[in-house]
Structure 1
Amino acid sequence: MSVQPISAASVATQDSSLHCYHCQLPIDGQPIRQAVGGEGRDFCCSGCQAVCEAIYDAGLESFYQRILEGDALAPPPELPTELGLYDMDAVQEEFVPALAREREIQLLVEGVHCAACVWLIENSLRAVSGVVEARVNLSGRKLKLRWNNDRVALSSLLHKMAQLGYKAVPFDPDTAEDSLKKQNRHLLYRMGFAAFGMMNLMWISIALYSGADEGEFRGMFHWIGMALATPVLLYSGWPFYQGALNGLRNLRPSMDLPIAIGVSITYAYSSYITISGSSAGEVYFDTVVNFLFVILVGRYLEAMSKRQAMEATQRLLDLQPKVAMRRNLDGSDERVPVRSLAIGDLVAVRPGERLPVDGWVRTGESRIDEAMLTGESEPALKRPGDRACAGTINGTGHLLVEVTALLQDTALGRIIQLVEDAQASRAPIQRFADRIVPWFVTLTLSLASLTFLYWMNHDVEFALMAATAVLIITCPCALGMATPMSIAVASGVGARYGVLVKNGEVLETLSGITDFVFDKTGTLTEGQMSVTRIHTEVERWSAGTPLTAELEQLLQPLVAVERCSEHATARAIVALLPDGPLEAVGCFQAEPGLGVRGVYHEAEVVIGSRTWMNASAVETSQTLSQQLAELDQRGQGYVCAAISGRLVAIIELSDRLRDEAAALVAALRAEGMGLTLLSGDRRATAEAVAAELGGMDVIAEVLPQDKDRVIAELQAAGRRVAMVGDGVNDAPALVRADVGIALGSGTDVSIASADIVLLSSELDKVHLASGLSRLTLRTIRQNIGISVAYNMIMVPLAMMGEVTPLVAAVTMPVSSLLVIGNAGRIRHRIAAMQCRFG
């Protein structure tokens, strides 16, 4: 950042009614003018100037993009020194979800490029008193940090990161992409400088290899080579020296150390030959420059591949608008930053705009495209009272939405958080890699030393080149990236198709599932009950025919009681008389899995299952008893209705199977999975549904609170169970299962209870999640195999002197690129699987 004083003469030419660039308040008297961010800015006081400079120095200049022109900020407090700015609650609330004693923040970390970096950061921070959790997402270069704010300040942790050699700033989607581009640009500069030195050294090498090394110009060519190699080593090789020094300073050496030692020894030996003028040895300045260039090329390609793996998360971040049109009390609309909105505010959404918040539609009607959130291709019709989500696209209507959630608290925000947590998580299989990585540096140095000692008596130069090749060729980067890259790609692909995976462990567990247990209502069926027939003592009504006056009169107390319930059965009964009575119902009681009861006009009304009728001592006539027996025999679903202790009606209900249910059951059965239908309905009804799906085990007449016990019994029998439910009534069973899969739109209950959340209600996503888990675990094993095979083949060859340092520099990044490329195949394999099943 450039900060220079501006002359008083230039200030005098400015308009007298100036406003402070930071706080937007009018400037009284002489302004303080500074060049900030390459442009001249006016400030009202040194406090505003210092805050602005600190914000720009931290790379948070997008702060001023959020504050619209004319919006005034509070005058800044006394500016803390350096990183102390981040200890202020006013600053932290921009990045920290809750300003409690224990806080959590996402930090963007510059300089992370391998598994050793991850190990160094996590172990160093975890050793700090007050740090609860430190978890690095290698793919996204992000650090999830949770700390006790009473015991340690955030600025201290950021300073600790600086001591480690990593720059950490709070993650802001607006600046994250620019920061990554800046890092890659610097990497390109160093790579280009190394390429320039390499091309010029090539001519020196050609001359020496052509015979100049034996003539009178030998020393001149050596000095020219040294002059070209020295700046390349200092500039292009600086990141390796910096990483090595930071690792040694913290007693946690990284893989930059072997690289730094290798290039230093080779350069030092060549410099010795040059300065001493000895004719007994050769110089290897070209080798130093060549493998620095090749390693930098590999790191740049890795950085590009990692960014590609994070594209799915970035696409989700791009869905969140930064500004909204707030409806003021006087009826005017004002464009404001989303962060300035509050719960209960009204937001106007024009045709074609993305919704900036979660909320309820207050006025207007429109079709909203929710494809990026739910996977549903058909726009959903939204009317007053309907729920709308941030990031979805409004159609042709004009909506007024009441805010119920903002930013991280929206459905989109929770989805982004789930994806980021999954990408930063570790599967159990990664523990193998995590245990090996810390020992890699020690092993590398030991093998290089043994190689040098073994070949030293044979030829010092040959020993030096062989040891350098060992230092360069052994690298745990591929092993360290085997799991996180696969999980990052899998999580992003899953999110793209509406499958949210909470963490990497879930993917590994799901790949070993033996049994799938399905809830019936709302999972295998659409959960939208409809009344097909009503049986009374004197008549039988069928759907599609008008209600008689007598039947309407009978239904009135039933509808009044069912209006107090949110169950799908209640909605179906209320739909018979949508304009039915609205009188208050007394003593209302709902018993999950059984039914409801209430008092209407001094008469007790009981509606529910046959078991609920028996518990309520309801009398049943012979006519209706015969009808119940017939329905039980057919497996037809129904509820009973009683008034004043006497059964007055039997209401038949139907719930249509989902279109993809039979195909899903057939696909899982073909893969050898055990299939169980778990339902609270009568056994005959559940068995009829199972038969329609092609046959599966049935566990029926189970109350919601008992589903957890059923899952536990299946697990006790040695089965690994995945439970698929709606995420609300099935919450205990979802938690109990080895893997809980919830259908729905990402509600709080679903996200809290399930391990996998399907944003849409398409059952084929269950098969997709199962295939994704197996493919991910297979890819992780392949990646570990690639890394182990690479080291087992290349390290012995290097120790035998069959691999030159330049070849070692080429093959080292190739192993990492193979791992990244293999992980990227998940994206294409899942797309093909989706096409086949869809």
Structure 2
Amino acid sequence: MLSHGCFHCGQAIPEGDLILKPINGTEREFCCHGCASVCEVIYEAGMESFYQRTPEGELLSPPPPPNKDIEFFDYDEVQSQYVTELTDRRQITLMSDAIHCAACVWLIEHSLAKVDGLLLASVNFTNKQIKIRWDNSKIKLSDIIKKLNSLGYDATPYDATSSEAAYRKANRDLLYRLGFAGFAMMNVMWFSVALYTGASEDQGYRNYFHWIELIIATITLAYSGQPFLKGAVTSLRARTVGMDVSISLGILTTYFYSLWITVNPNSTGGVYFDTLIDFMFLLLIGRYLQAISKNKAVDASRRLMDLQPKVARQVIDGDTKIMPVRALLPGNEIRVKPGEQFPVDGIVISGLSMVNESMLSGESREISKQVGDRVAAGTLNVDGILTVSVENILQNTQLGRIVHMVEEAQGSKAPIQCTADKIMPWFVSTTLMLAAVSFLYWFFNADLEFAVMTATAVLIITCPCAFGLATPMAIAVASGISARHGILVKNGTVLETLQSIEHFVFDKTGTLTKGQMQLVDYKLLSGIDEKQFLLEIGSIEHLSEHSLGRAVSESIKDRLSLNNKDWLDIHQFKALPGKGVQGEHQSSTFNIGTARWLNSLALVLPQTLVNLADERASLAQTAVWIARDNNVVGVLFLEDEIRPEAVELIQRLKAKGKKVTLLSGDLNVVAQRVAEQLGGMNVIAEVLPEDKNRVIRDLQESGQQVAMIGDGVNDAPALVRANVGIALGSGTDVSMDSADIVLMNNELLAVDTAVELSARTLKTIKQNITSSIIYNIVMVPLAMSGVLTPLIAAITMPLSSLVVIGNAARIRRFFSPKAISKRRQGIK
């Protein structure tokens, strides 16, 4: 081996593998052509300061070999598995195990920022993910991956399955280290027992057992202690003081003190290799239990994704064949039998069945699905065989998007967590100072051995694990469990800010009202058989595709308790867009539509009906005129019905002292009438769609914290502007994308539920922080006084973290049947 190292990765250059290449006019030595090419690319891009940013002494890895199948990822069929929308502007998350330090983050982000057509490159150092947004008309995904490869970073699209596998691997690795520490602890215990029972009186036996314990402790420290030591090194390289720093310092202090006693056989102190291994074992138990508890607490989103089958019955030439869902394409047909879950989002093309959608909406009532209806992945087919045309698969399904949003919410930071993160380094620094003070005090007032053990106990007992988990655990549990009950929280900040909102602004149409017209009244001239006449009108409108026509037919169907087979045979049906419909029944010709259309047909509208229609127009009721055989004989009045739960929601919010405002583009008299029906609220009416954003801004400028609740495209700017935007699941995709909270269950009362969940989450966060502070206030003085040994500290420290995790898990009880019943009864 040559003595020099590679100019790029720093590793030794094997004999015969030396590569010479000029870099900036100076000939440099490399271990392979890959390192030489990467270095050349870095210098050509003007990124040579990367080498100054790499941690001192850190060896880079030679670049991975280029993937020969990179162009495979350029196909839309492949990208559809990882990319939400196959438009010109696309976004994907890549993974790269080669990311190992902050310098890597800097190099990737700055290098890709210079690539034409690449709109965003954001690196997450923690999970080694690279979020990429690019213009597909200017650059291909394979070119981006090649660019990363040229910099020395392999990259592949992120797959949730791979992420789950990585999680299981990390847990398995932790369990192996725990098992090794337990095995070492049992073996060292025999030697310790021998020393405590008299072997220590013989100098030869004493030294012999100490050296055996040293060998076992050294191996255990190198393997089982690796998670703590690596965590401490990472923190120090990033110039921060993390929780692993205090643990590692305590472990190493005990180890080197015992080592000093061992190599100096004439020393009078005792060795603590058994204690060292014991508290490594106990710390690993605590960390493993934390990992399991955190997984159980935040696995609501994982359980949601598990509801989506991984295989499907594809229909090919009339036969069914079991296929992986990943292999399906839009337009393929699949068959779903009773008792099975839908593996994809799609449209029913044959069959009739009841479907349970509770896992998406939180509503237990089963819904009938027939030809033309949409079905969602993960929902349960109850009693019929359905053939479905595939629309979306895997993460592009409604369920997949929900899981993605929940994961983002669980990873986001609330303001109180950001504050905790800022406090954390000071907390650990204070811990180190207290340990130093304890050591110095007992060194001069007792002996070196007692001083070392006391300082170690302080370092272990004050590990800020519980403090660091206080906020993220509560947010992760709340966002995960709420998603399972139809309330999708898209970022953690909302869970802290929602309970402080003082002004709730509601859009009217589609939010406080159903957004669906309904027949509320009608007026017919005398001498008409009312039931027969309504049956004829309903039979004609039943053939219409217009929303008003469907509203009329459905309302008449409910009024007369009809079935679809009860409709009359209609002849010469014709729909006239913007005017109305025509049809014949038993030689009678009907014209049903607007007053203007009937006037254009030279038909005379009775003045009494005209006056009634004008009166109802002021109440936001729409008139549909009816003429039979060229004589106007009646008028129907339709109205957008108020949601039944809207009144209760407004009452609940007002009882909490919140201001409530109705925001509408309707006439003021119409908006005022709706407000009266809701029990009274502020009204801002006759607002143009583009002005809703301005209204929210004006309220905020007056010093108010505002929440906007809407469902339409024109609500999107206001939802973004508001401190908290809440969209109904029945609304448009634009409104849901713009909101912070999406009510997938489409229940308006879920607004109040979200407010109470926010209060519960913040309460839990404060409880967790308070408990971790109390723990330190009580335990630190005991450790500094020498009452607590490092072994006891190693037991109590993980217990404090488990208390925080357990308290956060209690948020799941918020949606228990008993808790839901109490909220519905108004019991606080």
- Range class of TM-score, shorter chain: 0.7 to 0.9
In the other structure, the counterpart of 1:653 is 638
TM alignment of 1:26-425, pairs within 5 A? 82=64, 84-85=66-67, 88-90=70-72, 93=78, 96-97=82-83, 103-105=91-93, 107=95, 130=113, 132-135=121-124, 143=129, 145-146=131-132, 171-209=158-196, 212-216=199-203, 217-247=205-235, 254-328=242-316, 330-425=317-412
**Whole-Å Cα distance in 2 between the matches of residues 605 and 136 of structure 1?**
65
In structure 1, list runs of 5 or more residues that go unmatched.
1-79, 112-116, 162-167, 589-596
Aligned partner of residue 281 in structure 1, secondary structure: coil
**Whole-Å Cα distance in 2 between the matches of residues 122 and 447 of structure 1?**
35
Moved more, 222-231 or 504-513: 222-231
**Whole-Å Cα distance in 2 between the matches of residues 369 and 108 of structure 1?**
40
In the other structure, the counterpart of 2:720 is 735
Does the 8 Å contact 2:736/2:742 carry over to 1? yes
Match of 1:807 among 783, 792, 796: 792
After superposition, what is the alpha-carbon deviation per residue over 1:644-670, rounded to whole angstroms, capped at 9, x for unaligned? Answer: xx9997532245444433333332222
**Whole-Å Cα distance in 2 between the matches of residues 703 and 606 of structure 1?**
27
**Whole-Å Cα distance in 1 between the matches of residues 425 and 311 of structure 2?**
46
Does the 8 Å contact 2:513/2:641 carry over to 1? yes
Does the 8 Å contact 1:563/1:574 carry over to 2? no
Q: Cα offset for 1:491? A: 0.8
TM alignment of 1:710-749, pairs within 5 A? 710-728=695-713, 730-745=715-730, 748-749=733-734
After superposition, what is the alpha-carbon deviation per residue over 1:492-532, rounded to whole angstroms, capped at 9, x for unaligned? Answer: 11111110011012222211111223334433344442223
In the other structure, the counterpart of 1:16 is none
Does the 8 Å contact 1:632/1:684 carry over to 2? no
What letter is aligned with 1:735? Answer: V
Q: TM-score, normalised by structure 1?
A: 0.74
What letter is aligned with 2:820? Answer: Q
**Whole-Å Cα distance in 2 between the matches of residues 379 and 740 of structure 1?**
29
Q: Cα offset for 1:789? A: 4.0
Change beyond 3 A, Cα 1:705–1:563: farther
Does the 8 Å contact 1:768/1:833 carry over to 2? no
Aligned partner of residue 365 in structure 2, secondary structure: coil
**Whole-Å Cα distance in 1 between the matches of residues 740 and 528 of structure 2?**
44
Asked if 1:833 corresponds to 2:812, the answer is no
**Whole-Å Cα distance in 2 between the matches of residues 466 and 124 of structure 1?**
44
Match of 1:777 among 762, 787, 791: 762
Q: TM-score, normalised by structure 2?
A: 0.75
Does the 8 Å contact 2:508/2:662 carry over to 1? yes
In the other structure, the counterpart of 1:763 is 748
**Whole-Å Cα distance in 2 between the matches of residues 159 and 779 of structure 1?**
44
Aligned partner of residue 500 in structure 1, secondary structure: strand
What letter is aligned with 1:460? Answer: L
What letter is aligned with 1:820? Answer: I
**Whole-Å Cα distance in 1 between the matches of residues 390 and 508 of structure 2?**
34
Moved more, 178-187 or 770-779: 178-187
Does the 8 Å contact 1:638/1:650 carry over to 2? no
Aligned partner of residue 491 in structure 1, secondary structure: helix
Q: Cα offset for 1:388? A: 1.3
What letter is aligned with 1:334? Answer: K
**Whole-Å Cα distance in 2 between the matches of residues 134 and 430 of structure 1?**
21
In the other structure, the counterpart of 1:531 is 519
Does the 8 Å contact 1:482/1:780 carry over to 2? yes
Q: Cα offset for 1:746? A: 7.4
TM alignment of 1:451-462, pairs within 5 A? 451-458=438-445, 459-462=447-450
**Whole-Å Cα distance in 1 between the matches of residues 123 and 357 of structure 2?**
35
**Whole-Å Cα distance in 2 between the matches of residues 548 and 388 of structure 1?**
32
Does the 8 Å contact 1:534/1:540 carry over to 2? no
What letter is aligned with 2:388? Answer: V
Change beyond 3 A, Cα 1:314–1:715: same
In the other structure, the counterpart of 1:817 is 802
Moved more, 508-517 or 201-210: 201-210
**Whole-Å Cα distance in 2 between the matches of residues 661 and 184 of structure 1?**
47
**Whole-Å Cα distance in 1 between the matches of residues 531 and 149 of structure 2?**
72
Change beyond 3 A, Cα 1:705–1:333: same
In the other structure, the counterpart of 2:550 is 571
In structure 2, list runs of 5 or more residues that go unmatched.
1-61, 114-119, 135-140, 557-566, 584-590
After superposition, what is the alpha-carbon deviation per residue over 1:207-242, rounded to whole angstroms, capped at 9, x for unaligned? Answer: 545565445543344334334433322332133233
Q: Cα offset for 1:174? A: 4.0
Q: Cα offset for 1:265? A: 2.5
Does the 8 Å contact 2:178/2:224 carry over to 1? yes
Q: Cα offset for 1:803? A: 3.5
In the other structure, the counterpart of 1:497 is 485
What letter is aligned with 1:734? Answer: L
After superposition, what is the alpha-carbon deviation per residue over 1:47-92, rounded to whole angstroms, capped at 9, x for unaligned? Answer: xxxxxxxxxxxxxxxxxxxxxxxxxxxxxxxxx9847449825369
**Whole-Å Cα distance in 1 between the matches of residues 69 and 776 of structure 2?**
45
Q: Cα offset for 1:409? A: 1.9
In the other structure, the counterpart of 1:428 is 415
**Whole-Å Cα distance in 2 between the matches of residues 543 and 525 of structure 1?**
29
**Whole-Å Cα distance in 2 between the matches of residues 488 and 127 of structure 1?**
32
Q: Cα offset for 1:488? A: 0.8
Does the 8 Å contact 2:406/2:488 carry over to 1? yes
Asked if 1:678 corresponds to 2:649, the answer is no
Q: Cα offset for 1:790? A: 3.7
Change beyond 3 A, Cα 1:564–1:799: same
Aligned partner of residue 298 in structure 1, secondary structure: helix
What letter is aligned with 2:709? Answer: V
Moved more, 240-249 or 573-582: 573-582
**Whole-Å Cα distance in 2 between the matches of residues 353 and 174 of structure 1?**
22
Does the 8 Å contact 1:534/1:650 carry over to 2? yes
Does the 8 Å contact 1:532/1:543 carry over to 2? no
Change beyond 3 A, Cα 1:658–1:598: closer
Q: Cα offset for 1:297? A: 0.8
Aligned partner of residue 354 in structure 1, secondary structure: coil
Asked if 1:751 corresponds to 2:741, the answer is no
After superposition, what is the alpha-carbon deviation per residue over 1:751-773, rounded to whole angstroms, capped at 9, x for unaligned? Answer: 21322111122222222111111
Does the 8 Å contact 2:580/2:593 carry over to 1? yes
In the other structure, the counterpart of 2:474 is 486
In the other structure, the counterpart of 1:73 is none
Q: Cα offset for 1:367? A: 1.2
Aligned partner of residue 415 in structure 2, secondary structure: coil
TM alignment of 1:500-579, pairs within 5 A? 500-535=488-523, 538=525, 546-547=533-534, 566=547, 569=548, 571-573=550-552
After superposition, what is the alpha-carbon deviation per residue over 1:371-401, rounded to whole angstroms, capped at 9, x for unaligned? Answer: 1111221221111111111111222222221
Q: Cα offset for 1:342? A: 1.9
